[in-house]
Chain A
Amino acid sequence: MRFLFLLTAALLIGCGSNGGPDPELAGLRVYHHSADGAPTSLDPAQSATAYANLVVINAYDTLYSYKYLARPYELKPNLAAAMPEISDDGLVYTVQLKPGTRFIDDPAFPDGKGREVVASDVVYSILRHFDPTVRPQGAWLWQGRVAGLEEWKAAGSDYDRPPDGLRAVDRYTLDIRLEAPYPQLLYTLAMGYSAVVPREAVDYYGREFGLRPVGSGPFRVTSYDTARIVLEPNRNWRWRPVDLAEEGYDPDTQAFTGIAAIDGQTPPFVDRLMISFITDSAARWNSFTKGNEIQYAGVPVELVDRVLASKNPVRLAPKYEARYQVVSDIEAGFVYSAFNMADEDFGYHPDPEQQARNRVLRCAMIRGFDWRRRNDSFYFDLGVVFPGVIPPVVPEFDPDLSLDSVTRDVAGAKRMLAEAGWTADNLPTMTYGSVGGVRSRQFYEQFRAWMMEIGYPREKIVLKQFATFGDLNKQWRESRLPLISAGWGLDYPDAENTLQLFYGPNGAPGSNSSNYNNPEYDVLYEQAAVLLPSPERTRIYRRMNQMLIDDCVAVTGLSRTRIAVWHREVLMYPSANIVGGFFLPFVALAGDNGILERAEPARLTLN
């Protein structure tokens, strides 16, 4: 009854629309981007999501960034003057900063003028991850790696006495001292987590710092809410002419975008950058096709067959081809379901015989899982299914690995169960944890139906819904659920980032929520962790991967392919993955409103 009131009633006072008239956009070069989720905070120390990262690395400077077009992904100096000098033992990194970079003007600074970015700002920004009052999320990147951080934190996080491992030697020189070689360190310096913030602004804005970015990046934020962010180019940034060859331009695969036109020209090519955060894919598509709203979107799964003329290679249907560009981009990450090995019903068991039977059960469930159909139902049949946890996007991926573990075999699964003595009566109940929402429920129902087909009784695959992702995550971290169905986004293009998900010492509440604990695996992990990329390291990675497959630890995996479309007058090669927001400073517009020629539709023929 009361709900009725809720629906019918309204306030009789204080009516008013939101804000004033639309800013005068005429004559301005505007690029309107979109994302399928909104950041919760723009504080680099809390930029855990891809959405936050997208904005953070544009509003702030990072020491390194990814090259715009190079595939596989490559780093280049950003705020740093050059790639770092690394000592022979791999333990000391010395980074020089480019002088003359300034924070944007902001009331947080004494005279309202942005001051120069110096090495101690970088130290301060990383140390914030070890200060609990910041509520930081990136400490795991440096913890136990950079010397002295734990001690610094234990001593009360005094920013005026930085630890030995992280020192500003002079105004522009930064020294990072490691406890053991950490080849992935450079990647962490290209992440939003390490973006450089001024201490004045953090102190000035306090808890609201996450809403008021004060950075030295290529853009400055002019307005921000959960629906949209508006940025303007930071004219004082160190813009320089684009050298496409240096950015890794590959004419064979990238010419169709028309970005060749920006070669040698100096950005910024836009006067305003807007990013709308639209969770609902249909609404996002609607806004995209309107013509005067967002210029970049993903294709909703329900519409793929109408929008695309072919999936491989990806081509738009004629109706759309004249107006839009399309690219399919395999994600840097994958979806998988890991068993919780600490659960005696499915994982390790004190009784070795039972443990062996549990392994058979896991293997049978893996064989009962239908990746082909999962791919067809939810990922346009465009996802890449692969065995193990080394996804196709990293260089260590092995295309020749046997596909048995990702190929459905109902008869085989039933046989395995029967041989190990599993029957409908003695199969353990599988509690499937999930958040609310249509898609998660469909995943569950599909999983349940497949398990029913290999002989699982319906009432033994039980859904347990959690209202928030945090609550579900809590259950995983506390090892209370037998199956962890998750997606993992790579933080950097190195398989170490996924293999650590099964490293024993990372067990719950750490990132190894499957609690896989294999001494042999751990030894290999430790060996590989200090190695620079090399065939030897790749061999170790692949051995570890094979162990995970043989032990039937996880139902894995699938890397999703994202279909990105954008308006033809926008000249860019967008990436939702590792490069993330680093492409935004290069975006240019063709046509009346742009400085460049429009991309020729004829160039579209792409293979």
Chain B
Amino acid sequence: MELLQYSLRKIATGIPLVIGVTLISFLLMVYFGPDKTYELVGKNPTAEQIAEVRAELGYDQPVAVRYLDYLRELVTLDLGFSDSTGERVSAILARTIPISAAVALPGFILGNLFGVLLGLFAAFYRGVWPDKFIMAAAAIGMSISFLIVIIAFQILLSSSYGLNLFPVRGWDVHSIGDYVLYVTVPTLATVFVALGYNTRFYRSVIVEETTRDYVRTARAFGMPAGPLYYKLILKNCMIPIITRIMFSIPFVVISGSLLIESYFGIPGVGKVTYDAIVTGDQPILKAVVALTAVLLVAVQLLTDIMYRWVDPRVALK
């Protein structure tokens, strides 16, 4: 009961956020946004035909009406049809989100897993050479642009100038084998880029934890370093780790890894969103932005609940 009340309260506080996100993105992306009219008119249009297309797209309505329409669409979950293909937006999302998840998942898991492990390792050897080596490598990793990593990996792994092991781009997945083939290069690039940031972040979290009193006490009581790290310290670091992971989720689920997908031509939600940007397909943009906001609120709620689960001392407040 307490949990339910808490959740409802939390959802209520999320409403201004959702309204803010939808309003700002509506104004930017829809009202001032790209104009689809001139993609839809024929080669030799008359002024009258242009006006007809604008009316068809609803561009002739006042802002307030269009915004309220947008909110109504969200509440009724009626996301409409793509202006480009006529496909249902909900169908597009249902088709593309799983692909994005399949592309991003391995990189996400490995990037965070290795990040925590390396962070733990570095913190364990704090100040000595393994730490310095890992941190130097992390600094280098953080300094290489994602785009450069993608291009370099593509040359090294997918072109005749390198090993030529994987497809250059695309997503033609019908079996586990295909999946491994297509997902490897994007995953390696993602892990490479994420690892530097993750390792640094997790190391600093863990180092912070090691300075606490209970660690000194445990040490003083002769607790061996290994169990100390993975039983006590790691467990107590779960809150920042969970926060970081949880808050990343909405951006991947909804906006996807836009760069990876547009570079590798993977038909995930990121690419669809990018294409919607460059063709001015507003129904898709509206849906993507709103869902991101809603998911963020949901994630905040879930995160708070997980805190309590990880650390019962955190009251639901």
Do B46 and A510 touch across chains, with their CB atoms under 8 A apart?
A: yes
On whether A207 and B101 interact (CB within 8 A), knowing A5-B251, A135-B53, the answer reads: no
- What sequence of 0s and 1s flags, for each residue 489-505 of chain A, a beta carbon within 8 Å of any chain B beta carbon? 00100000000100000
Min CB gap A227→B, angstroms: 5
CB of A19 within 8 A of chain B?
Answer: yes
Measured CB to CB, the nearest residue on chain A to B105 is A10
* Cross-interface CB contact of A9 among B167, B171, B174, B249, cutoff 8 Å: B249
* Cross-interface CB contact of B198 among A8, A10, A143, cutoff 8 Å: A8
- A276-284, A312-320, A424-432 - interface stretch: A276-284
CB of A172 within 8 A of chain B?
Answer: no
Do B259 and A7 touch across chains, with their CB atoms under 8 A apart?
A: yes
* Cross-interface CB contact of B38 among A286, A436, A477, cutoff 8 Å: A477
Identify which of residues 181-221 in chain A touch chain B, using a CB-to-CB cut-off of 8 Å: 207-211
CB of A17 within 8 A of chain B?
Answer: yes
Do A208 and B257 touch across chains, with their CB atoms under 8 A apart?
A: no
On whether A8 and B39 interact (CB within 8 A), knowing A470-B34, A500-B44, the answer reads: no
Identify which of residues 104-138 in chain B touch chain A, using a CB-to-CB cut-off of 8 Å: 104-109, 111-112
Interface residues of B, dominant DSSP: helix
Do A41 and B176 touch across chains, with their CB atoms under 8 A apart?
A: no
CB of B253 within 8 A of chain A?
Answer: yes
CB of B265 within 8 A of chain A?
Answer: yes
Identify which of residues 76-123 in chain B touch chain A, using a CB-to-CB cut-off of 8 Å: 81, 84-88, 95, 97-102, 104-109, 111-112
* Cross-interface CB contact of B170 among A137, A139, A287, A471, cutoff 8 Å: A287
Question: Which chain A residues lie closer than 8 Å to B45 at the CB level?
Answer: 140, 477, 509-510
Cα distance A212–B179 in the bound complex, in angstroms: 28
- B20-28, B67-75, B272-280, B309-317 - interface stretch: B272-280
Do B249 and A207 touch across chains, with their CB atoms under 8 A apart?
A: no
- B1-9, B189-197, B206-214 - interface stretch: B189-197
On whether A136 and B42 interact (CB within 8 A), knowing A6-B257, A19-B174, A471-B35, the answer reads: yes
On whether A474 and B46 interact (CB within 8 A), knowing A8-B108, A17-B173, A207-B81, the answer reads: no
* Cross-interface CB contact of B86 among A211, A280, A282, A511, cutoff 8 Å: A211
Min CB gap B169→A, angstroms: 5
Cα distance A22–B248 in the bound complex, in angstroms: 33
Cα distance A509–B44 in the bound complex, in angstroms: 7
Question: Which chain B residues lie closer than 8 Å to A436 at the CB level?
Answer: 278
CB of A469 within 8 A of chain B?
Answer: yes
Do B50 and A132 touch across chains, with their CB atoms under 8 A apart?
A: no
- What sequence of 0s and 1s flags, for each residue 1-37 of chain A, a beta carbon within 8 Å of any chain B beta carbon? 0101111111111111111111000000000000000
Q: How many residues does chain A have at the interface if contact means C-beta atoms less than 8 Å apart? A: 64
On whether A470 and B251 interact (CB within 8 A), knowing A137-B42, A227-B267, A509-B45, the answer reads: no
Measured CB to CB, the nearest residue on chain A to B87 is A211
CB of B43 within 8 A of chain A?
Answer: yes
Question: Which chain A residues lie closer than 8 Å to B101 at the CB level?
Answer: 10-11, 13-16
Question: Which chain A residues lie closer than 8 Å to B190 at the CB level?
Answer: 7-8
On whether A22 and B42 interact (CB within 8 A), knowing A6-B258, A17-B179, A278-B265, the answer reads: no
Question: Which chain B residues lie closer than 8 Å to A278 at the CB level?
Answer: 170, 265
Do B44 and A207 touch across chains, with their CB atoms under 8 A apart?
A: no
Do A207 and B42 touch across chains, with their CB atoms under 8 A apart?
A: no
Identify which of residues 244-303 in chain B touch chain A, using a CB-to-CB cut-off of 8 Å: 245, 247-249, 251-253, 255, 257-260, 265, 267, 275, 277-280
Identify which of residues 160-175 in chain B touch chain A, using a CB-to-CB cut-off of 8 Å: 167-175
Cα distance A561–B315 in the bound complex, in angstroms: 71
Measured CB to CB, the nearest residue on chain A to B104 is A10
Cα distance A477–B50 in the bound complex, in angstroms: 10
CB of A43 within 8 A of chain B?
Answer: yes
Cα distance A216–B204 in the bound complex, in angstroms: 67
Question: Which chain B residues lie closer than 8 Å to A140 at the CB level?
Answer: 42-45
Cα distance A10–B190 in the bound complex, in angstroms: 11
Question: Which chain A residues lie closer than 8 Å to B47 at the CB level?
Answer: 509
Question: Which chain A residues lie closer than 8 Å to B66 at the CB level?
Answer: none
Min CB gap B262→A, angstroms: 10
Do B99 and A18 touch across chains, with their CB atoms under 8 A apart?
A: yes
Question: Which chain B residues lie closer than 8 Å to A546 at the CB level?
Answer: none
Do B194 and A7 touch across chains, with their CB atoms under 8 A apart?
A: yes
CB of A330 within 8 A of chain B?
Answer: no
Measured CB to CB, the nearest residue on chain A to B263 is A280
CB of B15 within 8 A of chain A?
Answer: no
Cα distance A20–B100 in the bound complex, in angstroms: 17
CB of A589 within 8 A of chain B?
Answer: no
Measured CB to CB, the nearest residue on chain A to B146 is A7
CB of B184 within 8 A of chain A?
Answer: no
Cα distance A286–B99 in the bound complex, in angstroms: 23
20 CB-based A-B contacts, threshold 8 Å: A5-B248, A7-B193, A10-B109, A11-B100, A12-B249, A16-B98, A16-B101, A20-B174, A21-B174, A46-B40, A48-B42, A140-B42, A208-B81, A225-B95, A227-B171, A286-B167, A469-B279, A470-B279, A470-B280, A477-B50
List B residues at the A interface (Cβ < 8 Å).
Answer: 34-47, 49-50, 52-53, 55-56, 81, 84-88, 95, 97-102, 104-109, 111-112, 146, 167-176, 178-179, 190, 193-194, 197-198, 245, 247-249, 251-253, 255, 257-260, 265, 267, 275, 277-280
List A residues at the B interface (Cβ < 8 Å).
Answer: 2, 4-22, 40-41, 43, 46, 48, 132-133, 135-140, 143, 207-211, 225-227, 278-280, 282-283, 286-287, 436, 467-471, 473-474, 477, 491, 500, 506, 509-511
Beyond contacts A10-B107, A135-B53: 6 other A-B pairs, Cβ-Cβ < 8 A, are A6-B257, A8-B198, A16-B98, A210-B86, A468-B39, A473-B39
